[in-house]
Amino acid sequence: GYKDIPRRLTPSKTRFPQPIGKVEIRHLLVAWLLLSFCFSLRYVFGAPSIFPLMFIISLGTVGAGFVLHELTHKFGAQRYGFWAEFRVWPWGLIMALMFAFASGGTFIFAAPGATYIAPRIYSLNHSTKIIRRQSGLISLAGPLSNIALAAVFLIISGFDGLLGLVGMIGFQVNLWLAAFN
């Protein structure tokens, strides 16, 4: 009966992560590619010859930050027994493109989607205070992953040449993602 249901959702070391399904992978890829394009679009207007290079750098820096951010939400939610999946928001993708094009690539409104979460179990025994706390921690996990990644990119930015450029861009993008979220 209901007495067998745990009083609260607690982290479980025995729970296996819910796999990332084909639809979720497709949504992550679409959002990643579009965000990378938006973040490198300014070079189409200002220095078209280096756009391909900057797009590749954006794929790495924006991609690392965006995908890590969303997967940190997902796996953090699963740690508390929540269901979690990333889904694109089509209007968010359209707005990201519109703002990027309208500003010449200098302003990106990035809301390509979200990792949706929900507790797997609802019962009278579950405290909404505990679920709110866990939801807050899950929400905080994404921006914290961007701050940690920004620190790694800051170290890389100390190198010369292309590696330093990748580090500088990765640092800036991940701080922006953390602040925006």
Q: Which residues are catalytic?
A: 70
How many Å apart are CA 78 and CA 87, to the nearest integer? 16
